[in-house]
Amino acid sequence: MTRLNPMTDAELVSFLDYMIDDYAAEKVRAGNWPEDKALELSKAEFDQLLPNGVNSPDQYLFSIFDETKGQNVGAIWFAVRGEGGNKSAWIYDLLIHEQFRRQGYATQAMLTLEDEVKKLGLSTIGLHVFGHNPSAYALYQKIGYATTNIIMSKKVE
């Protein structure tokens, strides 16, 4: 069984060590950021979103824990966004460690996350998928997420 444990400060440090580099690379690959500025831009975004680490307001960071194996297999992070009665959960990241991928952990974590969102009185979860990540897109479709927007671009030279 998979459970979500609140992330510790130490786990956040490890998570950010990976995520800042990975997010920068994803933004470069998507054509959103220049390579020479990507790491700086990525760090700035994470600093803005998580000014108080795991205690940042409206940010919910979890380690994904496999009770059978007795170990963390990844992490998931969402925030509460919006105003008044229009608040919803926004998933910033889902990470399954390399050795645990393609074993159902992402699906289990996403479904378990729904309970956390409901506890906060929210009824909607949103997320972003990079266009070059068809496996993530397929996962989200499989568990009931619907496409609400598609942004496209074409490089002209």
pTM: 0.86
Domain segments of the chain as ranges:
2-142
Please check whether residue 73 is in contact with residue 64, taking contact to mean a CB–CB distance below 8 angstroms: yes
pLDDT in tens, the chain (157 residues): 899 999 999 999 999 999 999 999 989 998 899 999 999 999 999 999 999 999 999 999 999 999 999 999 999 999 999 877 789 999 999 999 999 999 999 999 999 999 999 999 998 999 888 787 788 888 888 888 888 887 777 778 8
Rg (alpha carbons) of the chain, rounded to whole number:
16
In 3D, which of 149, 152, 76 has the Cα closest to residue 111?
76
What is the CATH number assigned to the segment(s) 2-142?
A: 3.40.630.30
d(CA 18, CA 33): 18
Supply the pLDDT for residue 95: 94
DSSP string, 85-112: GG-EEEEEEEEE-GGGTTSSHHHHHHHH
**CA–CA distances in Å: residue 64 to residues 9, 21, 73, 119:** 15, 21, 6, 18
* Angle in degrees, CA 19, 21, 27, rounded to 5: 95
pLDDT at 150: 78
Range 99-128 burial, b when 16+ CB lie within 10 A, else e: ebeeeebbebbbebbeebbeeeebeebeee
pLDDT at site 65: 97
| CB-based contact 12:54 (threshold 8 Å) | yes
* 43 half-sphere exposure, CB direction, 13 A CA radius: 6
